[in-house]
Structure 1
Amino acid sequence: MWPFRTSSVVCLACGTELSQSMAREYDKYGDRWDRANKTFEHLCKGCHSDLCPQPRGELEKLLGELEAGNPSQAEFLSRYVATVDDRYGPLEES
């Protein structure tokens, strides 16, 4: 019989603390089946069901690039908007 997981984790989206057995694993690389040398982040069921099913393309890589140097939130957002505008063109409101 498999051991019951009793450790607690924190939802990366809303910050709620819950038991690991009640959480959903999140692998930012998109390969949760390859478990070698990995640590997973977790989502509560509510936040997991709110995830957008659309492909994110290069989003994780872009966010990693923009976090270089540990910028302030304002600097990070400024970099994000400028980079997305440069790479993909201006965002058009619908």
Structure 2
Amino acid sequence: MWGTRSNRGSNSVDCIACGETVRRSDAREYDKEGDRWDRKGKQFEFLCKECHTGLCHQPRDELEELLVDIDAGGLTEIEFLTRYCQAVEDRYGPLDHER
């Protein structure tokens, strides 16, 4: 009925975070849209187990839209942080700076 994962092409993949080439069976699928279960028409990127473990696994609803809205791809680090913080405050209210 369902094919095994081992027949999905290459036996090795490159980690998008560190660049290491690992066996496909030792990698984790990464979907930038955050919806890895809706598989139709998608090509996944991969992370090695170590980089995957280091990720924040919190929901990221609205993140892609926010990044597009602030034109994040062409900004310096300072410009990105300034625009990102302002966009978050505009959408969700003041940032809590106390810990």
Give the TM-score normalised by the residue count of structure 2.
0.68
Alignment match of 1:27 (pick from 26, 31, 51) = 31
Q: CA deviation at 1:69?
A: 6.4
Q: Among the aligned pairs, what percent are the same residue?
A: 51
Q: CA deviation at 1:80?
A: 0.4
Q: CA deviation at 1:68?
A: 5.4
Distance 1:75 1:52 in 2: 23
Amino acid at match of 2:22: S
* Structure 1 residues 36-89: Cα deviation after superposition (integer angstroms, max 9, x where no partner): 433322222122223333322212221232235622222112110111121112
Is residue 57 of structure 2 the alignment partner of residue 53 of structure 1? Answer: yes
Is residue 86 of structure 2 the alignment partner of residue 82 of structure 1? Answer: yes
Number of aligned residue pairs: 92
Give the TM-score normalised by the residue count of structure 1.
0.70
Is residue 16 of structure 2 the alignment partner of residue 18 of structure 1? Answer: no
Amino acid at match of 2:82: S
- In 2 relative to 1, CA 41–84 (structure 1 residues): closer, same or farther, beyond 3 Å? same
Distance 1:10 1:53 in 2: 17
- Contact 2:22-2:48 at 8 Å conserved across structures: no
- Contact 2:14-2:20 at 8 Å conserved across structures: yes
Residue segments in structure 1 that go unaligned for 5+ positions in a row? none
Residue segments in structure 2 that go unaligned for 5+ positions in a row? none
- In 2 relative to 1, CA 73–28 (structure 1 residues): closer, same or farther, beyond 3 Å? same
Distance 1:69 1:46 in 2: 26
Alignment match of 2:13 (pick from 8, 26, 30) = 8
- Contact 2:13-2:46 at 8 Å conserved across structures: no
SS in 1 for 2:66: helix
